[in-house]
């Protein structure tokens, strides 16, 4: 279940935060989000196979992701595998943006997500949810909640 908070600076945006036990649970955590969404994913991907990462990326792309920020050990690989699943010729104005934040603290990466992430123009009308999830790490989940909800 996601906790939700409206963004006072952007009335059409809401922040949703949550924790999932496994990467495979990310998609189901997003069942109630807007047609397009921005996702911050905090995960230790060192023990997650390329196959699982690519499968999750494909599902998220089919589900309407507009922007992915990824943080945590091996986040560069997550980013790169996600980019491999994107359409080779994304329509103008509907380019899925991706960033990785391996050299930043979790709080710095969350600041970027909250203050700098903007979907491409073609996603803007239907992109109202900024979702931040931690995978299998309660401490990260609490830091995310504190930064975006409290």
Task: Say how far apart CA 37 and CA 108 lie, in whole Å.
Answer: 21
Per-residue pLDDT at 1? 66
Number of domain units in the chain:
1
Q: How many CA atoms lie within 13 A of 96 on its CB side?
A: 26
Report the CATH number that the domain containing residue 142 is assigned in CATH: 3.90.190.20
| 3-state SS class at 60 | helix
Each residue's pLDDT tens digit, 76-93? 999 999 999 998 888 889
Q: How many other C-beta atoms are found inside a 10 Å radius of the C-beta of residue 19?
A: 21
Each residue's pLDDT tens digit, 1-52? 688 887 777 777 899 999 999 999 998 899 888 999 999 999 999 999 999 9
Residue 53 has pLDDT above 70, yes or no: yes
Query: Which structural domain range is residue 16 located in?
Result: 3-148
């Amino acid at each position: 279940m996601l906790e939700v908070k409206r963004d006072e600076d952007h009335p059409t945006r809401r922040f949703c935060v949550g924790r999932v036990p496994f990467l495979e649970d990310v998609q189901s955590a997003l069942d109630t989000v807007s047609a397009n969404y921005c996702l911050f994913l905090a995960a230790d991907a060192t023990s997650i196979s390329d196959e699982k990462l690519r499968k999750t990326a494909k599902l998220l792309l089919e589900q309407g992701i507009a922007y992915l920020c990824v943080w945590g050990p091996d986040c560069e690989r997550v980013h790169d595998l996600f980019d491999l699943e994107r359409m080779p010729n994304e329509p103008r104005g509907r380019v899925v943006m991706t960033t990785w934040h391996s050299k930043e603290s979790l709080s710095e990466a969350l600041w970027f997500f909250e203050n700098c992430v903007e979907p491409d123009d073609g996603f803007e009308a239907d992109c109202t949810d900024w979702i931040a999830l931690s995978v299998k790490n309660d401490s990260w989940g609490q830091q995310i909640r504190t930064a975006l909800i409290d």
